[in-house]
Structure 1
């Protein structure tokens, strides 16, 4: 069944962006003339999810104002930020039953809609999660060794290889078994890895993680943007 709910991760402090996030949350930093979160919402809108929820924490009022008028629910994390796993679990009453699509809001894409690609490849009989994975040659400005290695069926193991692109479909039932209040989704993935049910899908286009200030120019160059 095609997932019908999308969770946007928008609560982080964006500390690696330095002064750029002193006055605004990271999802509102502009790339190619538009806030980062709007680039993510282009894909969400085109996909046509029935339910969209964004988690909020740092400078949440600014994000609420920017997203006002959109059919987006807000999961406010106070007093403490809950990280990706805790944040997703806290938002589940709004997201409903069934697998959820999650999307980071700090990347720019040059290629097809990653949400649509995941939905087409999703096989819940074999998979507990399906992650978009970026080949290192297509990850603009990324100097790391990668996160996962996929076998010929797409089943993942950890190791130097493809980079997780921040978009996935994930079954959420296992979140209730994790005792920590704030935790990374890596804890859930580790259980899926042990059961050989974590899968990856190779993205055919380019991707740029705008995690540091220099990522803005790299992303703009990737999409051919010029403000002149």
Structure 2
């Protein structure tokens, strides 16, 4: 399965002048951490979706051209998460095959966590999978839990990693100012199956400075548990 890495966000909620994908967590830009996770997984091809809001991120990706985890770069217009995702799907060829979509703000992600999502998608009917995290789990970890929704009476937050079918963006709102696929920017998987996980590697989206501190703490903590429900 191919992956679309959404990394066109401004990062205004993080403050400062650094584009969100380039915000360092424990000394490394988040986009590099996510690229490494995708390279470790069963993903076949990585397409990085950039925008006019992330010109330094585009240059950073170009500088990685000789590395094994170097992605192809898709230029999107920067009109919001869903619009940019649709643009990227068309640019790489919307042939009906499902694609993994991943936000550049998941610094705890690794290859095993990506493969768990691929396995969950393979196990359900249809070609779309919405990954959600219980809001209580995000609060337990100490990360922001914006844009909650309810599934079977449980408060959940759409995660920054999903699987979409041939048509992207059904049901997504694309209203976030970062437009990079944060959990609170859009539910990009439409009306497919739902996969609920407590996995901290997926639960930690970085949207605010406090989330950076939490991610760094968890990266240093080998006792973090990875569970699905």
TM-score, structure 2 normalization: 0.73
Aligned equivalents of 2:169, 2:186: Cα separation in 1: 9
Contact 1:53 1:95 in 2 (8 A): no
Residue correspondence of structure 1 range 146-161 to structure 2 within 5 A = 146-150=148-152, 160-161=154-155
Which runs of structure 1 show a deviation greater than 4 angstroms over 4 or more consecutive aligned residues? Answer: 183-188
Structure (1 or 2) with the greater strand fraction: 1
Match of 1:83 among 67, 70, 80: 80
Gaps of 5+ in 2: 180-184, 222-229
| Post-superposition CA distance 1:96-155 (Å, at most 9, x none) | 5300100011123377733211211224872342122222343232345733415xxxxx
Is residue 216 from structure 1 mapped to residue 177 from structure 2 by the alignment? no
Aligned equivalents of 2:110, 2:22: Cα separation in 1: 22
TM-score, structure 1 normalization: 0.73
| Post-superposition CA distance 1:162-198 (Å, at most 9, x none) | 221210111023669x9x9xx9755872xx2xxxxx2
The count of residues paired between Structure 1 and Structure 2 equals 198
Larger Rg, first or second structure (1 or 2):
1
Match of 1:63 among 40, 57, 67: 57
Counterpart position of 1:94: 92
Aligned-pair Cα RMSD in Å? 3.1
Aligned equivalents of 1:89, 1:143: Cα separation in 2: 26
Measured after TM superposition, the shift of residue 58 of structure 1 is 4.3
- Tell me the secondary structure at the aligned position of residue 81 of structure 2: helix
- Tell me the secondary structure at the aligned position of residue 45 of structure 1: helix
Residue correspondence of structure 1 range 1-228 to structure 2 within 5 A = 4-19=1-16, 22=17, 24-58=18-52, 60-68=54-62, 69=65, 70=67, 71-78=70-77, 81-92=78-89, 93-94=91-92, 97=95, 98-109=97-108, 113-123=112-122, 126-139=125-138, 140=141, 141-144=143-146, 146-150=148-152, 160-173=154-167, 186=187, 189=190, 192=191, 198-206=192-200, 207-224=203-220
Pick closer, same or farther for the CA change 1:77–1:203 going to 2, 3 Å: same
